[in-house]
Amino acid sequence: MEYQVKQDGKFKFLEEGEGEPLVLLHGLFGALSNFEHLVEYFRKTYKVIVPMLPLFDLDLLHTTVGGLAKFIKRFIDQREYDSIHLLGNSLGGHVALVYILKNPEKVQSLILTGSSGLFESGMGDSYPKRGDKEYIRKKTQLTFYDPKMATDELVDECFEITNNRYKVIKIIALAKSAIRNNLGKELNQIQQPTCLIWGNNDTITPPFVAREFNSLIPNSELHFIDKCGHAPMMEVPGEFNEILKGFLSRLKSKAAAV
């Protein structure tokens, strides 16, 4: 993805296309490249925005889901985005949920894929092991249905993060914050149309999590994709984009009818 990373003050982000803002939030081990296919597809009809979340830049006290949601609020306010479509994957979905609960007037619709906020297994049953690249490779492969999706480049990125003691401390802080910040009792407050797109083979936030989101968020619809893990927009971008396009098109049709 050869898009230019823009900077506005302390905020770094991609912004491509024109139209209603579609804001994409990546997960704990995520990056701008996670949304490569999504950006390319939707920039023709939407203003697609991908802020770089400061996973390792906040002080430890604010290295939390709530701290990231406040960062997103400052970013959206500074850029003067309004009536946004807000999409989050994994931890990014959790951040999106906290943001929409506190700033409902800013959000037109919500899209969650593999989101934490109710239950997540994270890295699995242990903390990342520093210096053990094969361990990191196996853990990275668990993100996907097809282990070949865990390319050498992706494994190297994860290995670099988990081999840095400072970054590991931040990862653990965010993972613990996500577990503590269970939103089960608040999700019924979300009134915006919500689209849940889930991998049927997600082992990090399994299908039962998607069903629970669907039952707790009043105006939500749920789509499962077979042979797909925790990051559908990366693993099956064609099917993911078609589901999202259908959801957004229905919203436009309803708005036009009104």
Domain ranges of the chain: 6-120+182-257
pLDDT tens-digit series, residues 84-136:
999 999 999 999 999 999 999 999 999 999 999 998 775 444 455 556 788 88
CB 78 within 8 Å of CB 143: no
CB 144 within 8 Å of CB 158: no
| pLDDT score of 187 more than 60 | yes
Domain 6-120+182-257 top-level CATH class: alpha beta
Comparing CA positions, the residue from 225, 227, 198 lying closest to residue 211 is: 198
Q: State residue 215's pLDDT score.
A: 98
pLDDT tens-digit series, residues 198-209:
999 999 999 999
| Mean pLDDT along residues 203-229 | 97
Which position has the token pair 């039952």? 215
CB 101 within 8 Å of CB 183: yes
* Amino acid, single-letter form, for residue 190: I
CB 199 within 8 Å of CB 225: yes
Q: pTM for this one?
A: 0.93
CB 112 within 8 Å of CB 85: no
